[in-house]
Structures are given as structure tokens and as C-alpha cells.
């Protein structure tokens, strides 16, 4: 249970870092600073890999605590009232951070795809400049 709770606490600290990196990525893309995009993408990838490892451990720990189909809420139910309420609140905060980072990541991806598409049109021209009569 301690490992489970510690992993949640670590992710609660990691998500603001991820959101800050995603914002750096967006600003670099918006300003066409290609040299900044590589290091930021590497930092994002490293952080996400670490968070993914914690998620996998969390799933394994929950399964060990409450069975193969166990949920976080079932694992939290094993705690006493005050600790359970705190962990449920932390879990809800973590879920909101995930949703926020997914939205920011999608915004970044949409910008990068649009910039790539524009660059391809500039470099290679439009497929059809004039509509057929």
C-alpha cells in the first residue's frame, strides 16, 4: 500500500512538470524554434516513460491488493477513513491533471501537424491549384 500511495504522490508532482514541458513545446513550435523542440521532446518522453512505469507498478500493486480486476477505489477502501478520503482526493486531482495534459498535448500536436502541412504545401506546392471546370 505504501508503494501505491508513494507512486500517486510522485505522479502528483510529475504532472505539473509535464504540463510545463508541454507549454515549452507549444511556445517553441509557435515561435518556430526548431532547436528547442528536440530537447523538450526528449524531456517529455523521459518523464512520460517514468510515469508509465509508475502506472504499470500501480496496476500490479492494486491487483495484488484486491485481485486481478481490482480498481483504485477498491484499494483505497482498505484504508481508514481519513487516509482513504485524502487518497481519493489525490486520485481525483491526478485524474484531472491527466485530462489537462492530454488536452495540452493534443493542442501541441494539432499545431505541429498544421505547421508540417503548411510547410509541405510551401515546399511541394498544392496538389491542385485550380479546381477542374
List pLDDT tens digits, range 31-61: 999 999 999 999 999 999 999 999 999 999 9
Q: Check residue 127 and give its pLDDT.
A: 62
Helices and strands: H and E segment counts in the chain: 4, 0
Q: Using one digit for the tens of pLDDT, what is the confidence trace for 60-115?
A: 999 999 999 999 999 999 999 999 999 999 999 999 999 999 999 999 999 999 98
Q: 79 or 118, which is more confident?
A: 79
Cell of 108: 501541441
Complete DSSP assignment for 23-84: HHHHHHHHTT-HHHHHHHHHHHHHHHHHHHHHHHHHHHHHHHHH-TT--HHHHHTTS-HHHH
**The whole model's pTM is what?**
0.84
Domain spanning 2-124, CATH class: mainly alpha
> How many CA atoms lie less than 13 Å away from 115 in the CB half-sphere?
14
Amino acid at each position: 500500500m505504501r508503494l501505491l500511495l508513494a507512486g500517486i504522490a510522485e505522479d502528483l508532482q510529475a504532472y505539473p512538470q509535464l504540463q510545463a514541458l508541454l507549454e515549452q513545446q507549444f511556445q517553441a513550435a509557435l515561435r518556430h524554434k526548431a532547436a528547442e523542440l528536440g530537447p523538450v521532446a526528449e524531456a517529455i518522453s523521459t518523464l512520460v516513460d517514468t510515469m508509465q512505469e509508475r502506472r504499470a507498478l500501480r496496476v500490479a500493486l492494486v491487483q495484488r491488493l484486491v485481485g486481478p480486476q481490482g480498481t483504485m477505489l477498491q484499494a483505497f477502501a482498505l484504508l481508514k477513513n481519513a487516509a482513504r478520503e485524502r487518497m481519493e482526493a489525490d486520485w481525483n486531482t491526478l485524474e484531472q491533471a491527466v485530462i489537462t495534459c492530454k488536452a495540452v498535448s493534443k493542442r501541441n500536436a494539432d499545431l505541429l501537424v498544421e505547421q508540417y502541412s503548411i510547410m509541405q504545401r510551401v515546399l511541394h506546392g498544392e496538389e491542385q491549384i485550380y479546381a477542374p471546370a
